[in-house]
Structure 1
Amino acid sequence: MEPSSLILMVLFILIIWGGLVGSSVMLARSTDETTGELGTAPGTDDESLMHRAA
């Protein structure tokens, strides 16, 4: 392989794996209460949802 193709291959491998690592770190740092479609909307806390399920 030519040096330019090796450089591009390494670059894109780093970009893809770096994105995977970065998203995993962000996911581990975020709390369940602030993520998702509802986020911190009223009535979506654990107590309200458990009351509705019972």
Structure 2
Amino acid sequence: MSGIAIMMMILFMVVIWGGLLVSILALRKHPDDSSGILGDSHLATDDVLIEQEKAGPPARNTD
């Protein structure tokens, strides 16, 4: 391997592993359970979502 190839390999390894590290730290700071559109909404609890899943999709109006 040439010197340029080794430098490029190291650069992209740092970019990829650095991105993974940044995403892990971001998820630790803002976990999925408390982020997003619903956040801590009472409609986003496990019980409510399980009941919605069991009920199936809403009926479509074909008028």
Report the TM-score range of the alignment, normalised by the length of the smaller protein. 0.5 to 0.7
- Cα distance change on mapping 1:37 and 1:49 into 2, 3 Å: closer
Partner of 1:30: 30
TM-score by length of 2: 0.57
**Once superposed, which parts of structure 1, at least 4 consecutive aligned residues long, lie more than 6 Å away?**
none
Larger Rg belongs to? 2
Unaligned 5+ residue runs, structure 1? none
TM-score by length of 1: 0.65
Unaligned 5+ residue runs, structure 2? 49-63
Superposed CA RMSD in Å reads: 2.4
Offset at residue 28 of structure 1 (A): 0.3
Matched residues, number: 46
Deviations 1:30-49 (A, max 9, x none): 1432x123236xxx13xx65
